[in-house]
Amino acid sequence: MTLGRMALVRIPAIRCKIHRLFSASHSSSSTNRTSPPLSRHMSMKSENLVSKLTSSGLLKTQGLIDGKWVDAHDGDTMQVLNPATGEVVAIVPCMGQRETNNAISSAHYAFRSWSKLTASERSQRIRKWYDLLIAHKEELGQLITLEQGKPLKEAMGEVSYGASFIEFYAEEAKRVYGDIIPATLGDRRLFVLKQPVGVVGAITPWNFPLAMITRKVGPALACGCTVVLKPSELTPLTALAAAELALQAGIPPGVLNVVMGKAPDIGDALLASHEVRKITFTGSTAVGKKLMAGAAGTVKRLSLELGGNAPCIVFDDADLDVAVKGSLAAKFRNSGQTCVCANRIIVQEGIYDKFADAFSKAVQSMQVGDGFSEGVTQGPLINEAAVQKVESFVQDAISKGAKVLLGGKRHSLGMTFYEPTIISNVTEAMLLSREEVFGPVAPLLRFKTEEEAILMANNTKAGLAAYIFTNNVQRSWRVTEALEYGLVGVNEGLISTEVAPFGGVKQSGLGREGSKYGMDEYLEMKYVCLGDMNRK
């Protein structure tokens, strides 16, 4: 099945430069961002930072195939922009089917030797990769802020979080155990072996340009698989820097390949290849469904972490300070651009007004700006399309009777900055309740009873993350068990960790990432029956 004009990972399909001979004014950016012409110069601050990153060897502007840095075969390129300023940070190759097939061949060849290394040998190299990620934490954080926009402190937090998966799976590489099964006949011995799936196609989003890569590539490499990675066209620089550090760590050529560019062409090549035995994807539910259909032709294994519509339920008996702090973290991290963001804050009527007031005061203190500025806690949205989506959701709510308590419009900074927003009197008929806003907008809904809260929370096709705030232990258990979600935070808004399984139910995806369970997604189980054991 062809993906046609499919746009991977929540973004419009990219547009590559048709030919090197075209003038700069004819070149188009990778997305619908508000993009300046190539002639616009970077600020002195940005130029110095880019120069520093280039000198460090981490600002790579080519794809990686078989350990070699390469351009697109036809010379096509695309721009990587800073969403906070609109400046062109770098020009990178706009690749497609041909480069992807080359990367697949490279990964297929490298699999023969990488999978034959001992678990300890793979572990040592993956651990070295972790050490290098941590050693270059500052540079990687700067790259994330440059191309994704999140505040530098938050970006460096992502580096630590992303590196934690590499450290964890360096250790788990040595713990892939099989089984011996008691035989039903005396002359037989029964075994279960676990072996790597093979070549993995990994498709990652722009909102966590390092962590979403390491959460997939870490377990794949630990199991003995090789990877063809397609990062988002919006944020390829972090992926390329991570791949450079993998090479420095001794990960052999071809084990990790990186291609970026024409999303439909790259996706089609990964789906059509018989050598690619697994697809792992983080992105929208709509694209996940297309990948499921496309993978049927070669019966590939799939791991899908798809869209969410997270409820955050605040009960009357909740500690107000804990609820405000947790809801703030769950809603506004990364400017609301995460799949596990609290998309609906459902508050019991007895505490509704107090919570709305305290929450508004907390949100009002948030500082919006360029991620490199001191004290900033919220950066820009990723592009103009993201802002327009937020605007349409807010207008829909207002037209149906919702009230803006705070924010509700573009920020005075311009570009793609949007004010941290709180909206009250939201109902289930509004878009803010039914779909992910993927922006810094917190809708407040009111409920009376525990049963009503559970019905409201589960009234969605999504089932990724949910949050509960209550001091009643019995209630926390009852509600947790009743919620149709893969992740539940009780009195806590930040729940992701490398040691726990991450994934959803219903239309939020298949499989789990992170933890020991994440290893199983990259392993095949082989049963062996050894007969004629009584012969001497």
Buried b (16+ CB within 10 A) or exposed e, 143-161: bbbbbbbbbbebbbbbbeb
Per-residue tokens: 26: 């004819």
Tell me the sheet residues that pair with 301. Answer: 278
Q: Is the pLDDT of residue 33 over 60?
A: no
Q: Is the pLDDT of residue 11 over 50?
A: no
The rounded percent of the chain whose pLDDT value lies above 70 is 92
Q: Is the pLDDT of residue 15 over 60?
A: no
- Per residue in 169-209, pLDDT tens? 999 999 999 999 999 999 999 999 999 999 999 999 999 99
Q: Is the pLDDT of residue 38 over 90?
A: no
Q: Is the pLDDT of residue 375 over 50?
A: yes
How large is the average pLDDT for residues 126-132?
98
Tell me the sheet residues that pair with 441. Answer: 421
pLDDT (0 to 100) of residue 316: 98
Task: Point out the catalytic residue in the list 305, 436, 513, 521.
Answer: 305
Q: Is the pLDDT of residue 55 over 50?
A: yes
Per-residue tokens: 148: 């994704």
CB 100 within 8 A of CB 228: yes
Share of the chain residues as helix, strand and coil, in percent rounded to the nearest 5: 40, 20, 40
Q: Please give the model's pTM, rounded to 2 decimal places.
A: 0.92
Q: Is the pLDDT of residue 508 over 90?
A: yes
Q: According to the 3-state scheme, what is the secondary structure of 452-485? A: HHHHHHHCCCCCCEEEEECCCHHHHHHHHHHCCC
CB 446 within 8 A of CB 355: no
User: Tokens 């036809």 map to which residue?
Assistant: 74
pLDDT (0 to 100) of residue 19: 31
| DSSP element (H, E) containing 131 | helix 119-135
Mean pLDDT, the chain, rounded, equals 93
Q: What angle do helix axes 285-295 and 263-272 make, rounded to 10 degrees?
A: 40
250 three-class SS: coil
374 flagged as catalytic:
no
Q: Is the pLDDT of residue 230 over 60?
A: yes
Residue type at position 159: V
When pLDDT is cut at 50, 70 and 90, the band that residue 44 belongs to is: confident
| DSSP element (H, E) containing 190 | strand 189-196
- Dihedral sign for Cα 435, 438, 443, 447, please: positive
CB 221 within 8 A of CB 205: no
When pLDDT is cut at 50, 70 and 90, the band that residue 45 belongs to is: confident
How large is the average pLDDT for residues 217-240?
98
- Per residue in 291-341, pLDDT tens? 999 999 999 999 999 999 999 999 999 999 999 999 999 999 999 999 999
CB 190 within 8 A of CB 529: yes
pLDDT (0 to 100) of residue 16: 53
pLDDT (0 to 100) of residue 7: 34
pLDDT (0 to 100) of residue 41: 59
**Distance from C-alpha of 122 to C-alpha of 224, rounded to nearest angstrom:** 8
Phi/psi at 55 (nearest 5 deg)? -65, -30
Distances (CA, A) of 150 to 50, 156, 248, 425: 17, 10, 27, 30
Tell me the sheet residues that pair with 423. Answer: 404, 443
Given phi > 0 = left and psi -120 to 50 = alpha, else beta, which region is 366? beta
Phi/psi at 180 (nearest 5 deg)? -110, 125
Alpha-carbon torsion angle 506, 509, 515, 516, nearest 10: 90
**Distance from C-alpha of 467 to C-alpha of 493, rounded to nearest angstrom:** 7
**Distance from C-alpha of 330 to C-alpha of 493, rounded to nearest angstrom:** 5
Q: Is the pLDDT of residue 380 over 80?
A: yes
pLDDT (0 to 100) of residue 23: 27
CB 93 within 8 A of CB 70: yes
Tally of CA atoms within 13 A in the half-sphere of 239 that contains its CB: 34
